[in-house]
Amino acid sequence: MDTAVLSGQHTGSGPANSSGRQRPSRAKAEAAVRTLIEWAGDDPDREGLAGTPERVVRAYEEFFAGYNKDPVALLETTFGETAEYDEMIVMRDIRLESHCEHHIVPILGKAHIGYLPAGRVVGISKLARLVDVFAKRMQIQEVLTSQIADTIQKVLKPRGVGIVIEAAHQCVTTRGIRKPGVSMVTSRMLGSFRSDPAVRQEFLATIGSLGSGANDS
What does 3-27 look like in DSSP terms, one character per residue? Answer: HHHHHT---S---B-TTSPBPPPHH
- What integer pLDDT is reported at residue 1 of this predicted model? 36
Give the chain's count of helices (H) and strands (E): 9, 8
Beta-carbon-side half-sphere exposure of residue 44 (alpha carbons within 13 Å):
17
Active-site residues, by number, are 100-103, 141, 169, 171
114 neighbors 88 (Cβ within 8 angstroms): yes
* CATH 3.30.1130.10 domain range(s) in the chain: 70-216
DSSP type of residue 76: -
Third-level CATH fold of 3-63: GTP Cyclohydrolase I; Chain A, domain 1 (1.10.286)
CA distance 15 to 12: 10
Residue 196's pLDDT is what?
Answer: 97
Rounded to whole angstroms, what are the CA distances from 146 to 15, 86, 123, 181?
A: 27, 24, 21, 24
pLDDT tens digits, one per residue of 21-71? 788 999 999 999 999 999 999 999 999 999 999 999 999 999 999 999 999
Task: Point out the least confidently predicted range of 7-16, 138-147, 174-183.
Answer: 7-16
Amino acid 44: pLDDT: 96
Residue 172 is predicted with a pLDDT of 84
Work out the average pLDDT over 117-146: 94
Q: What are the residue ranges of CATH 1.10.286.10 in the chain?
A: 3-63
> What integer pLDDT is reported at residue 18 of this predicted model?
60
At 111, is the secondary structure helix, strand, or coil? strand
Q: Under CATH, what is the fold of the domain 70-216?
A: GTP Cyclohydrolase I, domain 2 (3.30.1130)
| Pair 189, 71: CB distance under 8 Å | no
As to burial, measured by CB atoms within 10 angstroms (0-12 exposed, 13-18 middle, 19+ buried), residue 59 is exposed
Band the pLDDT of 209: cuts 50, 70, 90: low
Q: Are residues 155 and 123 in contact, defined by beta-carbon separation less than 8 angstroms? A: no
Q: What is the pLDDT of residue 66?
A: 95
Residue 13 has pLDDT above 90, yes or no: no
Q: Which of 168, 153, 184, 163 is nearest to 93 (CA)?
A: 163
**Mean pLDDT lowest for which of 8-12, 59-63, 149-153, 169-173?**
8-12
Predicted local distance difference test score (pLDDT) of residue 103: 92
157-198: per-residue pLDDT in tens?
999 999 999 999 988 888 778 788 888 999 999 999 999 999
Q: What whole-number distance in Å separates Cα of residue 71 and Cα of residue 193? A: 22
At 202 the pLDDT is 95
CB atoms within 10 A of CB 207: 23
Q: Distance (Å, rounded) from C-alpha 152 to C-alpha 177?
A: 35
| Per-residue pLDDT band at 119 (split at 50, 70, 90) | confident
